[in-house]
Structure 1
């Protein structure tokens, strides 16, 4: 099983978006439907979702108008309104506005081995099982000579990815007391702008700090020689560096002490701490050169062990069902994403898809 792949030929934002929207129309429409169902279970009706989506799009337009133009292009290609495509790009903000949360989510490992050796990265991407057909792999050139490759959701401008400047991005959701129902710049647009523009961790931090957000996330940025977990909240942005051993691990709770005081996710869903402990206990394998070895280091199932590799409980409503939909590693020297469809328990040497 593999995810669909699309390579843009257009470089102007609206034209690039229209090309994508035309080619992936069915997946984008299905993704919007899946999120609409999720929002409905969270108590957000169609009129409220549209209002939140339009506001998030307006905030994104004020911050990065060329990205809003690309969203408009996707909508034009897919036969939709821009606010509908903005639903997917602002799904984190809409979920925060609806005060929706769940037990699952992602686990990320980045190791800088030093000695001129490339970074070793891997993460699980956990999400609701009814959205397992949402992911796509997308290659684009936001400007001549600069390539971005991203694992994202159909209609969303970016998520996890690499760029030809040698910078990579991992992505995890967070929840903070200051998250609000006043949608700000979508965090997925921040990830895309980092991939489009940043060549260093400092530049990525500057982009994150320039956005006014309403929902929290952590974007872990890595280059050949540096890494940082950029924890983004309405209360501010914190930068968490690797330890002295070059290890940087992140699940779904804040590592910065000041932001951790406003922690929401982990206070009643403590499995994120169990997952963090599992990563720490397996650092030696997570630092390995072989991606399959790193992925298998993530293999742990609940309830007896840390639920790093998640499988849905089909007795639960869809907003409480979580599945590891992808396992992803970054190859910065080659500017490549390596993606396995599903969790670590099904990873083999032959199941990797590369972009």
Structure 2
């Protein structure tokens, strides 16, 4: 069981988008339809979703014209309207706008070894189980000689990934009381610009601070010698560095003290704290050079323990069902991803899909 892959050959943003949209036409359309169903289940009218998609497109064009062109290209290739592909990229913002709540979401661990060896990273990616076929692996060259490889949802410009400048990112959802429905720059586009343009934590943080957002997220940035979680919200951006021991772990609540004062997950998703305690208790295994050992350290099921590895409750409506759809480790020296389709409970040496 592997995720589909696509390697872009076009350097021009619109042409690159059109190439992807044409090659994965059915998948882009299915992903938009899946999100339309999710938004409807969460209480959003179709006309409102369209308006939010159009606003996301405007926000994207103002902040990142090249990426807005790429979205338009994907739409053209897939036979959709640009606002529909913008909806896929702005799904975090739309869910914040409808004030969607529920358990689930991602857990991330990064360890910078004291001996200077490559960073050891791993994360679970939890999402709604009816969207389990949404992800893909995408390689692109946004600028000559600069390669980006990302695990993302088909039609979305980036999520978790690495670049050949030696930088990688993990991605977790956050919720903050400042989140609002005046759709700003989609956080998935911030992730993409970081992969396209940044080689350091400082450059990544500057890009995040330059965007006006309406929803919250955390992008954990890793380089050979540094790691920091860039917590993004409409109320501001905070950079949380790794500790003196080189350990940096993040789930779905703010770690910055000021931003944490207006935290939403403390009531909406209290298991985020249990998951972080699980990661803290397994630092030794999460420091291992072997990605399978790191992934297995994430194995924990509810009830009775932190649900790091999530399985859907099929008695719940689609917007309240969560599944660990992928387990992902970054290999910065090789600029590659190791991806397992599913949760840590099924990881084995032979189940890794290496994308390079």
| TM-score band w.r.t. shorter chain | over 0.9
Question: Matches of 1:230 and 1:67 in 2, distance apart?
Answer: 21
Structure 1 residue aligned with 2:260: 260
1:54 aligns with 2:54: yes
Structure 2 residue aligned with 1:83: 83
Offset at 1:56?
Answer: 1.0
Deviation string, structure 1 residues 9-64 (Cα, Å, up to 9, x no partner):
00100000000000111111111111001100111111000001110110110000
Question: Matches of 1:38 and 1:312 in 2, distance apart?
Answer: 15
CA contact (8 A) 1:4 1:136 kept: yes
The gaps in structure 1 that reach 5 residues or longer are none
Secondary structure, aligned partner of 2:351: coil
Question: Matches of 1:223 and 1:338 in 2, distance apart?
Answer: 17
Deviation string, structure 1 residues 126-160 (Cα, Å, up to 9, x no partner):
00000000000000000110000000000000000
CA contact (8 A) 2:310 2:322 kept: yes
CA contact (8 A) 1:129 1:322 kept: yes
Secondary structure, aligned partner of 1:105: coil
Secondary structure, aligned partner of 2:349: coil
Structure 2 residue aligned with 1:136: 136
> Map of 1:74-153 to 2, 5 A cutoff?
74-153=74-153
Question: Matches of 1:203 and 1:184 in 2, distance apart?
Answer: 21
Question: Matches of 1:83 and 1:52 in 2, distance apart?
Answer: 8
Offset at 1:269?
Answer: 2.0
Offset at 1:116?
Answer: 2.0
Offset at 1:74?
Answer: 0.2
CA contact (8 A) 1:252 1:266 kept: no
Question: Matches of 1:265 and 1:70 in 2, distance apart?
Answer: 33
| TM-score, length basis structure 1 | 0.99
CA contact (8 A) 2:168 2:221 kept: yes
Offset at 1:268?
Answer: 3.4
> Map of 1:242-253 to 2, 5 A cutoff?
242-253=242-253
The gaps in structure 2 that reach 5 residues or longer are none
Question: Matches of 1:266 and 1:323 in 2, distance apart?
Answer: 21
Structure 1 residue aligned with 2:155: 155
- Figure out how many residues of one structure are paired with residues of the other and give that number: 355
Offset at 1:101?
Answer: 1.8
Secondary structure, aligned partner of 1:240: strand
Offset at 1:163?
Answer: 0.1
Offset at 1:304?
Answer: 1.1
CA contact (8 A) 1:282 1:297 kept: yes
Offset at 1:267?
Answer: 2.0
CA contact (8 A) 1:218 1:231 kept: yes
Structure 2 residue aligned with 1:322: 322
